[in-house]
Amino acid sequence: MSDVLPSRPSRIVETPLARAAAWLIGPRGLRDQAALRREVEGKVVVITGASYGVGEATAKWFAGAGARVVLAARTMSRLREIADEITAAGGEAHPYRLDLTSAESVSEFAASVRYDLGEVDVLIHNAGKSLRRSIHLSYDRPKDITATSGANYLGPMRLTLALLPGMRARGSGHIVNVSTVGIMFPNAPKWGFYLSSKLAFDWWMRAVGAEARADGVTLTTFYAGLLHTRMSAPSRWMRVLPGQTPQDAAQVLAKAVVNKPRTMTPLYGFPSAVFATLFRIPLEPLVERIFGRLGDTQASLARLTPPAAKQTRVDAHAH
């Protein structure tokens, strides 16, 4: 459910031109860690999907600003490594196992954090499960439903319900939802499980925010564009596009907590949403044709029997 920067990003991504394009597209993050310190020092900050990538970078950035960081993910050994690194650097970090696909795990996690550290001040929903797979490859894979809905929708919903009462009772708190700009695009084939679960939680969280703001709890939705993490790594064509690094994203999340805007999105986010709505009918056939040519990733095809795999075109750009 967490993500990690590929060990060797594409050289195009590393060029000054690509970095400049990513900065221009945005959203741009917080550069002054002192401002973050004034906001979170001594406060309990929960970060899901904290074992790699954006979650790890965010945890270290917030811990460096004096936050009492709660590292949440499924792999405790990895969380302990990160906690040790943060502690060695003078920060405070607490690793807890959390499986968002398990209602019991979410309940135990929330109870443990509140018992050990007190009420949560900041909740960052960073964990997620990405999936790009042709629907016929999911016929016999119920896991595709439970994994995406659990990690992207039901799990974060349950965690919010567990921690929100404490925030509202104290009259303060901030929740950041790391969503995807993909839900602002035209409907994309093969992304149905991922985008529908992301959209569902986005809609639910916005409704919750409309109620919780009256009690002093604020909400920011970060509609992330391309992030160069292990989520996007299987599609090699994504690696050559301008995108943000985990460190870039961590600074965006820091800015979300300091400034508390309702939304943060790349430059093309809201124009894409308007365009996709106005021109839905001509766009859908075009998008269907484009994605029909992309095929499936090697990861998707690896679970097929050899005869079936031969009949399905492999994405030439996947690794």
Indicate the burial class of 148 (C-beta count within 10 angstroms; 0-12, 13-18, 19 or more).
Answer: buried
Look at residue 313 and tell me if it is in a domain.
no
Catalytic residue among 52, 96, 194, 223: 194
pTM of the model: 0.85
Under-50 pLDDT residues of the chain: 1-12, 233-234, 305-319
Look at residue 91 and tell me if it is in a domain.
yes
Look at residue 225 and tell me if it is in a domain.
yes
| Residue 255 near residue 40 (C-beta atoms within 8 A) | no
| Residue 53 near residue 78 (C-beta atoms within 8 A) | no
CA distances from 145 to 131, 133, 140, 201 (A): 10, 12, 11, 15
| Of 62, 35, 212, 185, nearest in space to 126 by CA | 62
| Residue 18 near residue 12 (C-beta atoms within 8 A) | yes
Report how many domains make up the chain.
1
Look at residue 2 and tell me if it is in a domain.
no
Residue 271 belongs to what domain range?
A: 26-302
> What is the C-alpha radius of gyration for the chain, rounded to an integer number of angstroms?
19
Residue with tokens 């460190």, as numbered in its chain: 247
Say how far apart CA 58 and CA 66 lie, in whole Å.
Answer: 13
Residue 92 β-bridge partners: 68
| Residue 63 near residue 89 (C-beta atoms within 8 A) | yes
CA distances from 64 to 88, 173, 315 (A): 11, 20, 41
pLDDT of amino acid 283: 86
Q: Is-catalytic flag, 96?
A: no
How much of the chain is in helix, strand and coil states, percent to nearest 5? 55, 15, 30
CATH code of 206's domain: 3.40.50.720
Look at residue 318 and tell me if it is in a domain.
no
pLDDT of amino acid 17: 81
Say how far apart CA 161 and CA 127 lie, in whole Å.
Answer: 17
Checking phi first, is residue 177 left (phi over 0); if not, alpha (psi -120 to 50) or beta?
beta
| Residue 44 near residue 117 (C-beta atoms within 8 A) | yes
Residue type at position 203: W
Look at residue 7 and tell me if it is in a domain.
no
Look at residue 207 and tell me if it is in a domain.
yes
Look at residue 315 and tell me if it is in a domain.
no
